Each structure stands twice: as C-alpha cells, then as structure tokens.
Amino acid sequence: MTFLELKDLRIHFPSDDGLVKSVDGLSFRLERGKTLGIVGESGSGKSVTSLGILGLHKGGRAKISGEIWLDGEELVSASAEHVRTLRGKKMAMIFQDPLSAMHPFYTVGAQIMEAYRIHHDVSKKVARKHAIEMLDRVGIPQPDRRVDSHPHEFSGGMRQRAMIAMALSCDPELLIADEPTTALDVTVQAQILDLMRDLQRDFNAALIIITHDLGVVAELSDDILVMYAGKAIEYGTAEDIFERPEHPYTWGLLGSMPRLDRERTERLLPIKGSPPSLINVPSGCAFHPRCVYADRTGGRSTSDVPELLESEGGHLVRCHLSRDVRRAVWENEIKPNLEAS
C-alpha cells in the first residue's frame, strides 16, 4: 500500500473576483523513506497542496475534492477533528520564515512542548526534557539554556532548526517542508539541508520539500513534481528532471537556477512574463502565453488543455509538443546554452 497518495486533488477558493483554482487536479504518490520535491513559482499551488494534505483548509471557505490517502486513510472526507489528531503526530510541517511561523510571545521550548503534549499525555517536566533532546538533536548548542529563549533571540538558522525540532517532536511519518531554506543565507542553507537529510534517514519519514528553488530539490529529492497554475506539468525522478527535462517551463526553471559554480556576472535566464491568474486561467495550455515554443504546437496550445502523459518510465509531461520535438529542443537549444554559461 502506498504511504501517501493524492488522487485528482482540487482545492478552489471562491473570491469576489471568481473561483481561484489553486490546485486543480493533482495526483502523486510517495513512499516512506522517500523524498518528493514539489517545484514551482509562487502561486503555482504547491503550498496550498501541502496545507491541503494537512487538512488546514477544512472548515474554511475552500472547496476541496479528490482524495488524499495517508497510510490507508482517506483525509478529504475525514472529519476535521480526526485530521487534527493526525496533524503534528502523523504528519508535520516545517514552514518557511520561522520568525513569523513561531509565536513571538512564547519560548521556543514552550512551543515544542505544546506540540508534544498535545499528542502525548506527559507531564511538563517530561515534555521539557523531550524538547531539550529535540533541540540537541537538531544541533542547537546549549539546548537546556536555549529552550527558554524566545524565537527572536535565535539566529535565522537556529530558528529553522528549532522549527524542525518542533515538527519532528512527535516522530511524524510524513514531513512537509515548505521552502525550508528560503529565508536563510547560503551556508546555513546547506547545513539545514544536510540536517534534514540526516533526520529523514533516522526517522524513515516520507518527506515533501516544497520550493521554487531547483537547487534545493536537487540535493534531497528522489522524485520531483513541477507545478504550474495548480497543475502538475512534469513529474519524474530527480535524474529525469535534471538530465532529461521535457517541459518548456522546467527548462525555464533550470535556466533561472543560480549555481554556485557559475560566475556572478552571468545573467540568469528568467522565464518571460508573469505567473497566470488562477481565476481566468489561460485557455488551452496554461503556460502558453509565456511559452517560447507555443507556435510549434500547431495552434493547439491555445485551444486544448494538454494531458499529463507518460513520456518514458514514469516520467510524466503535460505538453502539446511531441516528445521528439521536446527532446530535440532540449538537446540542441537549451542544454548547450545552460552548459555553456
């Protein structure tokens, strides 16, 4: 049995301007001990997806359909209260920007203890000991002292470590990290990514990393899902995505990825245009207004919505361009450019 499976998940928000289709028919699977990277621009629906898995849209105005299977349980139809008991214990989340994600008025220790005690009937003393252990485990020096500090007294990296400690405090089986390193500087980023890799191994958890930064997923992920306008547009192993990407948008992402080995003066290759409206999604392929190769689809890009089709060995792509064209463009136009630079 698959540990986590999403089937045709849709999360829509009614607004004054119309229905915002933040997630529009998303499916994927994830096994224990594996890491999935979800990549996309802001607004592509990746964060909404993660919050949807945690059940945080329940009771709000969101319209949710589809299925989320976690360890044999369906969560979309489950009661909000039941999903709540799973949150923190069975599945936990690491948020970006730990300064705003942690309550400014409570000590770091108290916030970890709170998460632990909600799911474990233990005394404050035991919980505190556990909190110190967790802080120690994520590599915070002098954890018995730092446990009584407030978030604002921590450095950025320390805060993210504390955030991770909080998420891991109940041994979750599914861990979702939403842009875990965005707010950090480069050296600290590396440390945090290392830490997460180590911890995942120790806990044997399923990990979802959500980011707009392909560099991050490159380090950690087994599989990568690229999202655009609420839909998956490409899915494959890390190797598929980095070595044989087939979607023009993925090419764009790779082109805009900063690399440590590149010269600073070189210009990145940004994707032209801005992300689409989620209310009036462009007709046909949602990416077509920004797609340089739209004219090679024979006009289908504006009329038909492309299917997510298997290209080869589990590598899925949502594109009107034929596989051959895609491969040719990648090999001849994109890849040399990226490597040359």
Query: Whole-number minimum distance, CB 111 to other proteins, in Å?
Result: 8
* Strand pairing class (315-318; 308-312): antiparallel
Rounded to a whole number of angstroms, the minimum distance from the CB of residue 35 to other proteins is 19
- Residue that is written with structure tokens 């599989």 in the block: 223
Which of helix, strand or coil describes residue 318? strand
Q: Does 57 bind other proteins (CB under 8 A)?
A: yes
Residue choice 1, 72, 77, 104 for contact with other proteins (CB under 8 A): 104
Our finding on whether 67 is near other proteins (CB under 8 A) is no
Residues 30, 190 contacting (CB under 8 angstroms): no
60 binds other proteins per the rule CB under 8 A: yes
Burial of residue 327 (CB within 10 Å: 0-12, 13-18, 19+) is middle
330 binds other proteins (CB under 8 A): no
Separation CA 291–CA 272 (nearest Å): 8
What is the three-class DSSP state of 259? coil
10 Å Cβ neighbour count for 175?
A: 23
The total number of residues written for the chain in this structure: 341
Least distance from other proteins to the Cβ atom of residue 122, Å: 15
Would you count residue 171 as binding other proteins (CB under 8 A)? no
| Residues 10-29, interacting with other proteins (CB under 8 A) | 13, 15-17, 20, 22
Tokens of 159: 């805060």
Distance CA 8, CA 31 (A): 18
Q: Which of 9, 147, 166, 291 binds other proteins (CB under 8 A)?
A: 166
Residues 204-223 that bind other proteins (CB under 8 A): none
CB of 323: closest distance to other proteins in angstroms?
30
Per-residue tokens: 242:
């980095």
Single residue of 79, 85, 283, 341 touching other proteins by CB under 8 A? 85
Which is nearer to other proteins, 15 or 332 (by Cβ)? 15
Binding residues for other proteins, total number by CB under 8 A:
49
DSSP string, 135-169: HHHTT-SSHHHHTTS-GGGS-HHHHHHHHHHHHHT
Locate 38 and state its tokens.
């979800």
Structure tokens at 224: 């990568």
Residue 48 touching other proteins (CB under 8 A): yes
Pairing, β 223-228 against β 206-211: unpaired
Q: Which is nearer to other proteins, 232 or 278 (CB)?
A: 278
Please give the residues from 251 up to 310 whose contact with other proteins meets the rule CB under 8 A. 273-280
Closer Cβ to other proteins, 90 or 129, answer by number = 90
* Dihedral angle computed from the Cα positions of residues 165, 169, 173 and 174, in that order, rounded to the nearest 10 degrees: -50
The yes or no reply on residue 103 touching other proteins (CB under 8 A) is yes
Residue nearer to other proteins on the CB measure, 168 or 319: 168
Q: Figure out which of the listed residues 72, 123, 125, 152 binds other proteins, where binding follows CB under 8 A.
A: 152
Least gap, CB of 97 to other proteins (angstroms)? 7
Name the site residues for other proteins (rule: CB under 8 A): 13, 15-17, 20, 22, 42-43, 47-48, 51, 54, 56-57, 59-62, 84-89, 92-93, 95, 97, 100-105, 114-115, 118-119, 150, 152, 166, 273-280
